[in-house]
Amino acid sequence: MSERRNTRQKAIIEHAVSGMGIHRTAEEVYAIVHENDAAIGLATVYRHLNRMYKDGKVQRLSVSGTYYYDVNSDPHDHFHCTVCGKLMDIPAEYDQSLDRKTAEQIGAAMVTHTVMYEGICSNCQKHNEGRT
Ligand SMILES: [Zn+2]
Ligand SMILES: [Zn+2]
């Protein structure tokens, strides 16, 4: 694979995963990438996302065994809708004191923590109301 082609692929994939407050799975990234360049395969998407994760360019959140990629690499909390599967950032301030408290409790050197709220998002609630 030529260097130029590799750089172009990388740009398309990085663009597909970018955007504040956007959390996409590898499959969702692939669907967007595919519209721009049908020659880019899912394996290539996985490889680039993995690279970005290792380089600290994206956060990777595991929800029910599925990875969501998040370009916002600052520590923040999330809400997961159990109906549509959407992942959202929580506007509330990230509680750094929890790292300290938990570190004291279990004697670990804490780096970060993730709070995952679960429920039904406002969109899905509206959807439900319309049906009943
Ligand atoms: Zn929802
Ligand atoms: Zn996020």
Measured in Å, residue 117 CA sits from the centre of ligand 1 at 13
CA of 63, nearest ligand number: 2
Question: Architecture of domain 74-132 in CATH?
Answer: 2-Layer Sandwich (3.30)
Domain boundaries, the chain: 1-73, 74-132
Question: To which residue do tokens 């967007």 refer?
Answer: 32
Ligand nearest to the CA of 79: 2
* Span 1-60, pLDDT tens digits: 578 888 999 999 999 998 888 999 999 999 999 999 999 999 999 999 999 999 989 999
pLDDT tens for 65-83 read 899 999 987 888 999 999 9
CA of 52 to the centre of ligand 2 (A): 15
* Residue 97, number of CB atoms within 10 A of its CB: 7
- Domain 1-73 matching CATH 3.40.50.300: the answer reads no
Q: Can you spell out the DSSP letters for 87-122?
A: EEE--SPP-THHHHHHHHHHT--------EEEE--H
User: How many other C-beta atoms lie within 10 A of the C-beta of residue 81?
Assistant: 18
pTM: 0.81
